[in-house]
Amino acid sequence: MSTSREHFSSKIGFILAAAGSAVGIGNLVGFPVAATKNGGGAFLLIYAFFVAFICLPIMLAEMGLGRRTQHSPYSAYAELGQNTKRWRIAGWLATITPFMIAVFYMVITVWIFGYLFQTLAGNLDAIAQPTYFGEFVNDYSFIAYLVAVTVIINFILVGGVRKGIERASKILMPTLFLMLILLVIFVLTLDNAMAGVKFYLIPDFSKITGSVINGALAQAFFSLSLGMGILITYGSYFRRNDDIVNSGKLVAITDTAVAFTAGLMTLPAIFAIYPETNPESLSDSSVSMIFSFFPQIFMQLSNTVGYGFASVAASVFFLLAFVAAITSLVSIIEVPTSSFMEKRNVSRSKALLVMGIAITILTLLAATSFGLLPWVSNVVTYAGIDKSLFDIIVDVFYDTILPLNGLLICLFVRYRWKRENFTAELSKGNSNYPNTFLHKYVNFAIGTFIPVILAIVFINTV
């Protein structure tokens, strides 16, 4: 074990960093809209069930594996997998996945930054035009926004674990909570806001179908940043005697609480502005909600509260989304960066330079998927649908490889690392863990039905 590995300075530092990773665009828009369309309170219950009974065990496995090996995913799998080919492939998948998802997430973050810039510049009326987004994605101003976002991320990551990731999380996460609460309070004072709260919370079990259940699991898995090697990497920055079990629980609770609270902002705002909204008509895509629907809502709001105030509310919203996205991006880019530092034995700044260049180039290509460059906009056509580079990243990595990575970590704990060793790792810092129900449950579930469920999800998408 290398003695020079960096560590978080405190448990709270880890929790805020991991929560920063987990709380992202998915929480602010994806979750509230999915819940409203799919049975409100009924969806919430199913989602919370998946967080506690499927995702938490995987989360503990990732964190435990990282802390035990003090390595990023590739070397972690290689070390405990005794360098066998099969486990090296698992480690490689857990390294390439965050790299590719970082590209897709980066595109969206750069757009959010662009919208934030526009609202701050007083151009809410422009971005609220129905045609704006289509023109925006094909505009070269993207490059300027991309440079700005890259600088911000590198500024955080170059500081390393304590002075970079941990310090930024300690500032950004409380700011995020505060902005979210302010927006919720503001939205709840609007007329007709309660209609949105009702749609959001009242359970309608008749909406629960197989695909809704599948969607809730995928949402919970993504939201907790599982399957991306992030928690293995952050786990490796955990000190020997820190309590993994409690930290994991707190991260899961925080992430779910933020998603839930975001629903109290998003839905009441929609219903206050458009009282006749039919939840079924809301778009499934977070992208079209953020970049088309919300600017229109803020613009409509200016009829009630005035243009200046509506612009401020819109700026706070885009700043909130930007902070949520940046802390997630930092965590995901840290995975290939730290793997590269480890494998090549290079400094953090060198690793960041290489990753920065690679991710920037791919982000530029993915961002031109919307028409600028025809060959990226239509890389392949399957089932009669033209697929852009952006679509391919989403289909292959988000939909398919993420559950596969979750499956592999379960099999790894069960058959290679062994459950006793896993328990021993989690007991450091929490000596009571072996006597708890959670321990019995985790060890049973991770070796039995969780991998089966993930295998079904994986085979289904393939």
Minimum distance of ligand PHE from residue 390's CB (angstroms): 15
Q: With CB under 6 A as the contact rule, which of the stretches 219-227, 274-282, 360-368, 418-426 interacts with ligand PHE?
A: 219-227
Q: Does 69 bind ligand PHE (CB under 6 A)?
A: no
Q: For ligand PHE, give the closer residue by CB, 8 or 104.
A: 104
Round to whole Å and give the CA distance between 312 and 177.
17
Round to whole Å and give the CA distance between 163 and 168.
8
Q: Which of 72, 118, 223, 405 forms a contact with ligand PHE (CB under 6 A)?
A: 223
Minimum distance of ligand PHE from residue 78's CB (angstroms): 23
The 8 Å CB, 24+ separation contacts for 357-364 are 358/99, 359/99, 359/102, 359/103, 359/106, 359/333, 360/146, 360/150, 362/103, 363/103, 363/106, 363/107, 363/110, 363/146, 364/142, 364/143, 364/146
Q: Does 24 bind ligand PHE (CB under 6 A)?
A: yes
Minimum distance of ligand PHE from residue 253's CB (angstroms): 15
H helix or E strand, kind and range, residue 291: none
Q: Find where tokens 């698992």 sit.
A: 90
Give the side-chain half-sphere CA count within 13 A for 116: 18
Q: With CB under 6 A as the contact rule, which of the stretches 21-29, 83-91, 110-118, 185-193 interacts with ligand PHE?
A: 21-29
Q: Which of 74, 87, 105, 145 forms a contact with ligand PHE (CB under 6 A)?
A: 105
Round to whole Å and give the CA distance between 302 and 308.
8
CA distances from 451 to 82, 405, 414 (A): 22, 10, 10
Q: Which of 17, 21, 93, 109 forms a contact with ligand PHE (CB under 6 A)?
A: 21
Kindly state the number of chain residues that form the binding site for ligand PHE, as judged by CB under 6 A. 15
Residue 106's nearest CA partner among 313, 316, 360, 340 is 360
Q: For ligand PHE, give the closer residue by CB, 26 or 429.
A: 26
Q: Which of 27, 119, 315, 430 forms a contact with ligand PHE (CB under 6 A)?
A: 27
Q: Does 363 bind ligand PHE (CB under 6 A)?
A: no
Q: Does 322 bind ligand PHE (CB under 6 A)?
A: no
Minimum distance of ligand PHE from residue 262's CB (angstroms): 10
Q: Does 256 bind ligand PHE (CB under 6 A)?
A: no
Number of helices and strands in the chain (H, E): 26, 2
Alpha helices in 81-140 (DSSP H): 85-120, 124-127, 132-136
Residues binding ligand PHE (CB under 6 A): 21-22, 24-27, 101, 105, 222-223, 225, 230, 328, 331-332
